[in-house]
Chain A
């Protein structure tokens, strides 16, 4: 019963999204379909391509209800239908050998490895910066504005420079992408950890003073454990940002592997189904990463006795 109650809203939302998607396929693809139908001597109104071009997708679709079925099976549709994307995913994830370049699992691993390395770098950097900001007045005043500024620069503008510059000093492959991942993922960790490390109130800090505790004890026994809920919230934002960073890092140099490469290939060779499958692959990967973090969060906080307090 409980599972059903949580399942119902999820299923409803998915059904609505699928409904909109399926409905959109017809007007999005109707021009291509009409051209194809005309070539196969199927009657289309209006019958010249020039006239059809004048019409919007919706009105053309309403005049040619007979060819709706064909819009779902185009080889190179403008908008692939759900079952086409599903079939592509099935084919590239399940049917292909995961070590083959045709397998999406292979590409997922290329992106994922850069994501995880970048996430580790970003999280470490974020925590260290947060500790510096909390304990050092100069860093408090100077680091935060730069951290905020860093996030206002469009990553799409920055990514090619990082890749090219690192390439010019001979660093290629995993690390440049990871740097971009780290660049995106350190920020939420800094913000969350600064807030978390500062979350103990005056009374709790005074209590440690009455024990004549030193700064290290204050950090390990009070500030760090108090910051855990904040850290996990940040990590969940950070890991999805890291994945985006790795994909963006694959785009500008025409990388030959990874989700970014698949999206690029689909775009350049007019295979939108490939692009869409890569998009979904990336989304599913991100969801899995966040789910794993949520699981670790629940376990950690329960072990720390904080899950009950939150419930």
Chain B
């Protein structure tokens, strides 16, 4: 082992107490994520992929097991602002301009006014939204709003980016474009990315590591290290390697479902 993992989970369990009795959201999850990895979590609804991402973010507390982020507990990592989080919906504040929305974390974290201005300009450029900082969210398309929310998560330069189905609500064409942009952005910034998705092509196209999960209880059924190069044009999706990985992901997902039926 050359380096300590950025995120490390050991025998992680999480049980929600609901009115209908306990729900095992996660059971015995073990995973290491190295610096610079692009890790996708894929699986059907209820497999715990979002819950696991929220455990990394310190938004949920596991009931058993261990998890560290940058060697700290997730809650300490959250206080240290170790990650940026992108939600399913852009969730921009309607009363703030795009620039104002990206400034939000910077204001909260106490950056100077000049620093705020520089950073807003830089991340807007990074997501190709330069010139939109004075616009209000409702003046932008859904894809542009989601890019603005990614810019917001990048603004304070956390090393880790956690994304919970950020493109789930967008159409295929916009999604392809944003996937390409996200890869380029990842290449430039060398961030560690955790990415939750429903889409097999999206997972295979983006990831260096694909974590296939299955439901009830939520657990990891397969971890695939992608042999694809870091530079990935969109047409790599027609290559035999790509299709082979996609097959393996699909098999993993199907196996999870058979368990479910048994």
Chain A residues within CB distance 8 Å of chain B: 203-204, 206-213, 217, 221-222, 225-226, 228, 304-306, 308-309
Contacts and interface: CB of A to CB of B under 8 A. Distances in A.
A306 B109 CA distance: 26
Contact of B59 (A209, A217, A221, A308): A209
Interface string B32-57: 00000000000000000000000001
B105 A222 contact: no
Contacts of B88: 203
A206 B87 contact: yes
B83 A210 contact: yes
B96 A211 contact: no
Interface string B137-151: 111000000000000
17 contacts: A203-B89, A204-B91, A207-B91, A209-B58, A210-B78, A210-B83, A211-B81, A217-B108, A221-B104, A226-B95, A228-B95, A304-B94, A304-B95, A305-B94, A305-B138, A306-B95, A308-B136
Contacts of A204: 91, 93
A203 B84 CA distance: 14
A210 B84 contact: yes
Nearest to B138: A309
B109 A211 contact: yes
Given A203-B91, A305-B97, 5 more contacts: A203-B89, A206-B85, A210-B57, A210-B78, A221-B107
B123 to A, nearest CB: 15
A222 B93 contact: yes
B188 interface: no
A305 B93 CA distance: 10
Given A308-B139, A309-B138, A211 B94 contact: no
The 7 closest A-B pairs by CB, nearest first: A305-B136, A304-B95, A309-B138, A210-B85, A213-B108, A211-B105, A211-B108
A203 B88 CA distance: 9
Contacts of A305: 94-97, 136-138
Interface string B162-188: 000000000000000000000000000
A212 B79 contact: yes
Task: Name the prevailing secondary structure of the A interface residues.
Answer: helix
A207 B88 CA distance: 12
A211 B136 CA distance: 22
A306 B96 CA distance: 9
Q: How large is the interface on B (under 10, 10 to 19, 20 to 34, 35 or more residues)?
A: 20 to 34
A212 B89 contact: no
B108 A206 contact: no
Given A208-B108, A212-B81, A308 B138 contact: yes
A212 B136 CA distance: 25
Nearest to B100: A305
Interface-centre pick from A210, A222, A309 (highest chain B CB count, 10 A): A210
Nearest to A212: B79
Contacts of B139: 308
A206 B78 contact: no
Interface in B232-261: none
A206 B108 CA distance: 14
A90 B97 CA distance: 49
A209 B105 CA distance: 11
Interface string B91-134: 10111110000001101110000000000000000000000000
Given A207-B87, A210-B85, A212-B79, A221 B108 contact: yes
A305 B92 CA distance: 12
B78 A203 contact: no
A207 B85 contact: yes
A225 B93 CA distance: 9
Given A207-B85, A211-B81, A225 B95 contact: yes
A309 B85 contact: no
B141 to A, nearest CB: 14
A203 B87 contact: yes
A309 B136 contact: yes
B108 to A, nearest CB: 5
A74 B96 CA distance: 61
Given A209-B59, A209-B78, A211-B81, A306 B94 contact: yes
Contacts of B156: 211
